[in-house]
Structure 1
Amino acid sequence: MQSTILKKVRYIRVDGGLISADERIIRETVLKVMADGRHLVSAMIVAAMEKEYAAGYLYVQGIIKGAADILSIEIKNNIADVRLKEDREKRTISENISSSLVVRKEDVFRCVRAILKSPVFRETESVHSAGLFLDGKEAVSITEDLGRHNALDKVIGAGLLKDVDFSRTLAASTGRQPAEMILKCRSAGIPVIATKGVPTSMAVELAEKAGITIAGLVRRDAMTVYSHPERIE
C-alpha cells in the first residue's frame, strides 16, 4: 500500500552545506466523483480507498440511504464512476443522534492510539489519520489522507460498505475538529468522536445539540470531554 501512495523524490538539504538525497513523500492526486454521469465533487486525496471515499461522500451528503443504493463503483483514470439505483429514496439527515452507545474511557485511549500507529504518518508526518471502531473496540477501518475530512469520509464509506450500524461506532481522528467534522458524524449517525486535537466552538455547539460526544486532547491517560460526557464510562 505504501508504494502506491508514496513517491520518491530527489532533494537538496541545506544544513551547513549541501546534501543531496532521496526521500519518499505523499503522492497527491485528484479524484473526480461522478454519479450516473453527473459530476459531484473533485477532491485532492491520497490515492487509496477511493471506492470507500466515494461511498462515504455520497452517504454523508444524503445522496444515498445505504450501500444497497450503489450498483457499482469503478475507479479509472482518477475518476470514481458510480452507478446508483434509479428508484432510490433520498435520505433525510437527522439533526439528532439516536444511540445508546456508552464506551469505556480506556477504549477511547486505545482507539486514538490505534490511528497514530500509521507507518505513513511516521515516515512523512504529512497525513491525517482516521478510524472507525465498533462499540469503541473493534476496528472497522483505519486510513490516512491529506485532509482529516477526506480520511473521515473514507472510514465512513468503509463502514457503509460493511453494513456497520453507525449508531454503535466511535470515530477517531487526528488534528483539530471543526464544525465540518461534527456535521459528517451527525449525518452518518456516529455518536462519539475522539481526537488528540481540540474542537472549535461551533463544533462543540453542534455536538451538544446533536447528542454527539467529543473527547479531545486524548493523550496518554488524560482527555477533555467537551460534550455529552454521559457516553463515556
Structure 2
Amino acid sequence: MDSKILQEVSCIRADGEVVATSERIIRETALTVLVDGRHFATAMILGALEKEFVIGHLYIQGRIRHAGDISSIEIEDQTVRVKLRPGLEQRALPAALTSGLKVRHEDVRRCVQAILTSPIFEETGAVHCAGLFREGRESVCIAEDLGRHNALDKVIGAGLLKDVDFADVVATSTGRQPAEMILKCLSAGIPIIATKGVPTSLGVELAEKAGITLVGMVKRNSMVVYSHSWRIL
C-alpha cells in the first residue's frame, strides 16, 4: 500500500508475553493550502486524494461554485497552491434544499455497506470513510481520511471534478453526524446523507430545517430515518 498512507513503526506487543515487533499505522499529514498566495487552511489529512479534498473544501466554504472556478492547482510536498479565477464572489449558503430525489431503503443500505470494505480500515481501524452515489446506486467516489469531515470533502471534490449534480446524490459516512456534517451537505446541495453511526440532536434539528434526509444506524436489515423520511421508499 502507498507509503504516503501507511508508515511502519517499531513497537512492543504484550499479549501473554512481551514481544518486540512492528505495526503499520496511518501516516498523518499536515496539508497547507494557499489560495492566490494567501494561507487558506492547514488540515491534518490522510495523504490521498489531496486535490479532491482541496476542491471540495473550497466549495463547502463557498469560495467556488464549480471546479472551473479554479485556474490552477499545484501540489508540492505538503503544500497546495491554488489560483482562482479573478472576480469570484463568496457563494451563499442555501436556506434549505428542495431536491425531489427518492431512493429505495435497500439502495441506502447498499451505499453504506459499500464504504465499509476499505482495505485501509481493515488493516488499521484508523480511518473514516465517505461515499457519493448517483441516485443511491452508481458510485461517484469513495474516500478515506483521518476524519469524517475530510472524507466528505474529498468525495464532494470528486463530484465537482466529474460535474455531478449534487441534488441527485446520496452521501454516506462511517461516523456520527453532528451539525457540521449536515452543514457540509447543505452547502453542497446533497439531499440525503446516511451513516452507520448516529446523529447528534443539533444534527437532526438542522437536517429538518435544511430539507435534508438524515439516515442513521444503517445496518444490513435496519436503519433509522431522522428527518424528511418521504425520500426513503
| Fold match (TM-score > 0.5) | yes
Give the equivalent residue in structure 2 for 1:32. Answer: 32
Alignment of 1:162-201 (within 5 A): 162-201=162-201
CA displacement 1:52-88 (0-9 Å, x = unmatched): 0100010000011111101111111201111100022
Identity of aligned residues (%): 62
Secondary structure of 1:65's match? coil
Structure 2 gap ranges (5+) = none
Deviation at 1:220, TM superposition (A): 1.1
Structure 1 gap ranges (5+) = none
Give the equivalent residue in structure 2 for 1:55. Answer: 55
Give the equivalent residue in structure 1 for 2:73. Answer: 73
Moved over 4 A (4+): none
Asked if 1:12 is matched to 2:32, the reply is no
Q: Indicate conservation of the 8 Å contact 1:98/1:189, yes or no.
A: no
Which amino acid in 2 is paired with 1:107?
A: D
CA distance in 2, matches of 1:95, 1:183: 11
Give the equivalent residue in structure 1 for 2:230. Answer: 230
CA distance in 1, matches of 2:19, 2:197: 35
Give the equivalent residue in structure 2 for 1:108. Answer: 108
Q: Indicate conservation of the 8 Å contact 1:65/1:89, yes or no.
A: no
Secondary structure of 2:170's match? strand
TM-score by length of 1: 0.98
Deviation at 1:11, TM superposition (A): 1.2
Secondary structure of 2:218's match? strand
Alignment of 1:81-120 (within 5 A): 81-120=81-120
Report how many aligned residue pairs link the two structures. Answer: 233
Secondary structure of 2:199's match? coil
TM-score by length of 2: 0.98
